[in-house]
Structure 1
């Protein structure tokens, strides 16, 4: 019954659904935007792990010294920043203009024109 939410086929699972939703470019590689979101999500996870409440609740994380948790927090912030940069630098959403060519008046360039 729960699997019908993800599709009509009963054998379809969540991983196949997510795989279809991820954008791939012509070469079959993942978009930089999706990769940026995944990196940002990993950074947010690192930030969450470095909080004292979560570190005290998990026995594996409670053995980490508090000075090291500061480094995890700083690393998480850096990873989130890199992910945001990847998301913002995505070239697929930018408006693609034609090539700019100069406009001459005699031998001087007086402006530029965009070829389509």
Structure 2
């Protein structure tokens, strides 16, 4: 989670919340809207075929528009793809890369 943590810190700007999310997002004290989004993201990541209309409805009920739901799904899909590429090639984050958008990975 090192390179994802950097991006999360940049977006949230609350190290305590980032630590709580990293430890256990379900008890991190986030808003119901963020919790609904993460619940869906986890399901889409771990068991994508089990995703149903009820999951989409839960996002709508939490306040997400159809465009938001598309964006959430695309981001989850992109991270799944990128993580599989990085893991498959054995990429690691370089120690010298500062926190921020310039985070990169190189082969072992």
Between structures 1 and 2, the one with greater helix share:
2
TM-score using structure 1 length: 0.31
TM-score using structure 2 length: 0.33
Q: Give the structure, 1 or 2, with the largest relative contact order (CA under 8 Å, sep 6 or more).
A: 2
